[in-house]
Amino acid sequence: MEELDLIVESVKHDMEAAIKHLDHAFQRIRAGRASTNMVQDVMVEYYGAPTPLNQVANVSVPDAMTISIQPWDRTAIGAIEKAIINSNLGFAPSNNGENIILNVPPLTEDRRKELAKQAKGETEDTKIVVRNARQNGIKELKKLEGVSEDLVKNVEATIQELTDKHVKLCDDHLKAKEAEIMKV
């Protein structure tokens, strides 16, 4: 019985981790306003090692359409600029010698649709992870010996309920993000 609970908890943990990953992915998809989350995954080549941007510079948002990046070491300004360009975020950094300014252009209708499509892709990837967690849980159930068929069926039903709940959560998150993206 304890093994069954362990399998259900493992599946639940994997599904919740997938939802957290979806939320993180959605934070990187901009919705018209500047945010420090937009550049949080930029890695800067700093003294020969890839380093997260927030560890080599102060990243701030002075207004809704601007991101300001002020390096702690001025010699890193070129590396930061290069990392932003190579990250394919769609920003053209302007360097004034002391800091880098990223102007967040207003979203065009085409760009909004592209971002919505990107959000939908992230959601589909998350649903796949949720379904894989279900499959792995059911495989683990099948491996167990000496457990009655009724118990196995009950646990399978519980796992399916968890799957349905998390797939619905994915869809709800997508609806909210699409609404945020499409809002002018």
Q: What are the residue boundaries of the structural domains of the chain, listed by start?
A: 1-31+107-183, 34-101
**For a pLDDT cut of 70, what percent of the chain falls above it?**
98
CATH topology of domain 34-101: Gyrase A; domain 2 (3.30.1360)
Q: Quote the CA–CA distance of 145 and 164 in Å, as a whole number.
A: 27
User: What is the CATH architecture assignment of 1-31+107-183?
Assistant: Orthogonal Bundle (1.10)
Inform me whether the pLDDT recorded for 184 exceeds 70: no
Q: Quote the CA–CA distance of 119 and 60 in Å, as a whole number.
A: 25
Output DSSP code: residue 131. Answer: H
Radius of gyration of the chain from Cα atoms? 22
Residue 170: per-residue pLDDT:
95
Residue 65: per-residue pLDDT:
85
Average pLDDT over residues 139-168: 91
DSSP assignment of 43-108 equals: EEEETTEEEEGGGTEEEEEEETTEEEEEESSGGGHHHHHHHHHHTT-S---EE-SS-EEEE-PPPP
Inform me whether the pLDDT recorded for 136 exceeds 90: yes
